[in-house]
Amino acid sequence: MTPTAPLPKLPSWLAPRRGGAPEDAPFRTGALLAILDILVHHPDVPQGLLRDRLALQSAETAMIALGRPERAAQLRDEVHLARPGDTLGPGGTVFASFRTWARTPITAGPSGISPLGAAITALAGSDPADLPAATMAADSALAAALRWPHPLPLLSTSLRRADPDGAALHQALMNAGRQALILATDLTRRASHLASIAPKLRAKPSAQALWLFLTEDALSPTIALSPQIRHTATPMTDRAARRLCDRLCTLGAIRELTGRSAFRLYGL
């Protein structure tokens, strides 16, 4: 994959810092949103995978805020090792809801509305006891005001209460935006490498399997790739699926995410 344009970078004057005049916060936040606007429309960024990975971070943030013990690894296991018809626990249900929400197209909001003002209004109209719903509403309002095609989990990854003051909201958005840029840069590099090794794969269904790795946080070869590749009618045996994942790991295109010898999950 040859980049069509450089990915946006965070200028040094937007790097984390202490202090600063309170009136600088809206300017810095606006500058960051302008950079993120380039990111969400960049053709080389694996947008679906980025949102899926941020949805996992959002679910972990919600678990911490709610005082629950589940962290990213447990949430990933619960959702990606579940088979159709399985009942998810509380943590898995939250992660699954964030994933579904992040894949839902956004209807553009009316013009002339401040993106952060829209997010604040959405938070104010939400139930503060339901943090996942409140942060999803805020990020949806933000995306609609910016006319983004999908919500980008930002405040969902960083807010631990649904009624922050203005300074805390600006800081949360700045922190989340920086982390989203770092993650997007890493995933874009990995996606480029995955595309470069695609011609080396001989299995006919490999192209459809590779597409899944660009849209989902993690894949189980025995669930997502066999007996047929998810979202397709293409068959693949369990052995072929595991062999493909091992081959992709050897080529450095994907990683095994669990460190286990069984019930493995793979992803960029």
User: Does the CA dihedral 233-234-236-242 come out positive or negative?
Assistant: negative
Domain ranges of the chain: 23-188, 201-267
Say what angle helices 115-124 and 24-40 make with each other, to 10 degrees: 100
Closest listed residue to residue 146, CA positions, set 46, 56, 263, 39: 39
- Asked if the bond preceding 227 is cis, omega within 30° of 0, the reply is yes
Q: Give the DSSP H or E segment for 239.
A: helix 238-250
* pLDDT tier at 163, thresholds 50, 70, 90: confident
Residues 210-265: tens digit of each pLDDT: 999 999 999 999 999 999 999 999 999 999 999 999 999 999 999 999 999 999 99
Which of the residue ranges 68-77, 130-139, 196-205, 252-261 would you say has the lowest mean pLDDT? Answer: 196-205
Say what angle helices 166-197 and 206-213 make with each other, to 10 degrees: 160
pLDDT above 80 for 18: no
pLDDT above 50 for 162: yes
254 near 209, Cβ under 8 Å? no
What angle (nearest 5°) sits at the alpha carbon of residue 17, between those of residues 11 and 20?
Answer: 105
Query: What is the rounded CA–CA span in Å between residue 1 and residue 4?
Result: 9
* pLDDT tier at 3, thresholds 50, 70, 90: very low
Residues 83-124: tens digit of each pLDDT: 989 999 999 999 999 999 999 999 887 777 899 999 999 999
pLDDT above 80 for 47: yes
* pLDDT tier at 67, thresholds 50, 70, 90: very high
**Roughly how many angstroms between the first and final C-alpha of the chain, as a whole number?**
15
Query: What is the rounded CA–CA span in Å between residue 40 and residue 72?
Result: 24
Q: State residue 204's pLDDT score.
A: 67
Residue position matching structure tokens 């916060």: 25
Query: What is the rounded CA–CA span in Å between residue 122 and residue 163?
Result: 10
pLDDT above 70 for 8: yes
Which tops the pLDDT comparison, 206 or 146? 146
User: Does the CA dihedral 140-145-148-153 come out positive or negative?
Assistant: negative
**Summary mean pLDDT of the chain:** 92
Q: State residue 165's pLDDT score.
A: 86
DSSP track, 174-190: HHHHHHHHHHHHHHHHH
Residues 78-94: tens digit of each pLDDT: 999 999 899 999 999 99
Mean pLDDT of 200-213: 84
248 near 266, Cβ under 8 Å? yes
Q: State residue 1's pLDDT score.
A: 43
Residues 170-191: tens digit of each pLDDT: 999 999 999 999 999 999 999 9
Closest listed residue to residue 42, CA positions, set 149, 157, 138: 149
75 near 63, Cβ under 8 Å? yes
Mean pLDDT of 59-75: 96
* pTM of the predicted model as reported, rounded to 2 decimal places: 0.94
DSSP label of 26 = H
Protein fold of 201-267: Arc Repressor Mutant, subunit A (1.10.10)
Name the β-bridge partners of 228: 235
Closest listed residue to residue 156, CA positions, set 237, 235, 75, 62: 62
Question: What share of the chain has pLDDT > 90, as a percent?
Answer: 79
Mean pLDDT of 157-161: 94
* pLDDT tier at 207, thresholds 50, 70, 90: confident
Helices (H), 198-232: 206-213
